[in-house]
Amino acid sequence: MAYKVEKATQIADNIFELWINAPHVAKNAHAGQFLVIRIDDSGERIPLTISAAKEDLVRIVFMTVGKTTTYLSKLKVGDEILDVAGPLGHPSEIKEWGHCVVIGGGVGIACLPILAKALQDAGNRVTGIIGARNEKLLLLADELEENCDELVICTDDGSRGFHGFPADILKQKLEDKNIDAVWIIGPAIMMKITSMATIPYNVKTFVSLNPIMVDGTGMCGSCRVTIDGETKFACVDGPEFDAHLVDWDELMNRQRIYPEQEKQSLELFHEHYCECGGHHHE
């Protein structure tokens, strides 16, 4: 069974949104979970966070970084994806916390709408903080406004909203008001720095370690992380963990393992992909 692309849109610089018809995922999806897709027989499997689910459709949002995300970005409405496996991973810890802050950096913002809505539905007050390098990389702000009681937008260059980083806003909020739980989703360095802000206040802080996954089923071992001194797998034990227990230095070292292979793979893809929408068969 193949899965049809129902909607394909570019929503920011190098960032794309696909709505895929995958009823079994959409019906069972919860905030914090992800899916693994394989475009065709010769494709690699890549994990992508579930950004939204509606009726039979599930949304993924991704930035074109390597070969597979570049290929995904070329798909149009009516095209098919061979495999969509999910939902995978443990859902976010949704309960009545009180005042929750959800923070997204870059393409990590895509994980927030489903999370903010679930937290609101559980009776929480939700503050959203989103940050990107510039205005062109901001995404889903309008949608997040609907699912947050308050939304603060930051840009590194000041092109929109607050000139600075989500960590700056979080520090301010922690000083000003009572916060009961925080979720941070984005690049590893951003999650590390931002989560340090909550340590003095002893506020429960979750991070999503999706960026380090490859296989998504616990078999390949590339998403090994050390949590409170114990080895865990982000895909089957997470992807969300207590930010204050993550060995961030080890995690960021692991992220530097594959860049050369990813670069070669992308170069080969560009050589063999023709802009008419397919591969050259050689």
pLDDT band at 228 (very low <50, low <70, confident <90, very high): confident
Q: What is the mean pLDDT of residues 184-196?
A: 93
What pLDDT was estimated at residue 274?
Answer: 47
Mean confidence (pLDDT) of the chain: 87
- Nearest C-alpha neighbor of 246 from the set 264, 267, 230: 230
Q: What is the mean pLDDT of residues 239-261?
A: 76
d(Cα 125, Cα 107) in Å, to the nearest integer?
Answer: 24
Positive or negative torsion for Cα 109, 5, 48, 258 = negative
Q: Is the pLDDT of residue 140 over 50?
A: yes
What pLDDT was estimated at residue 27?
Answer: 96
pLDDT band at 221 (very low <50, low <70, confident <90, very high): low
pLDDT band at 204 (very low <50, low <70, confident <90, very high): very high
What pLDDT was estimated at residue 266?
Answer: 45
Measuring CA to CA, how many Å separate 163 from each of 15, 158, 166, 246, 259? 22, 4, 10, 28, 31
Q: Express each pLDDT in 52-96 by its tens digit.
A: 999 999 999 999 988 889 999 999 999 999 999 999 999 999 999
What pLDDT was estimated at residue 253?
Answer: 80
Set out the domains of the chain in order of their start, with CATH numbers: 3-89+259-277 (2.40.30.10), 99-254 (3.40.50.80)
pLDDT band at 165 (very low <50, low <70, confident <90, very high): very high
Question: Which helix (H) or strand (E) covers residue 262, if one does?
Answer: helix 259-272
Residues marked as binding?
A: 220, 223, 235
What pLDDT was estimated at residue 278?
Answer: 52
Where is pLDDT greater, at 55 or 253? 55
Q: Is the pLDDT of residue 226 over 90?
A: no
Q: What is the mean pLDDT of residues 229-252?
A: 86
Q: Is the pLDDT of residue 262 over 50?
A: no
What pLDDT was estimated at residue 263?
Answer: 52
Residues marked as binding for [2Fe-2S] cluster?
A: 220, 223, 235
Q: What is the mean pLDDT of residues 189-215?
A: 86
Per the DSSP assignment, residues forming a β-bridge with 127 are: 101, 150
The single residue listed with the structure tokens 């949704």 is: 94
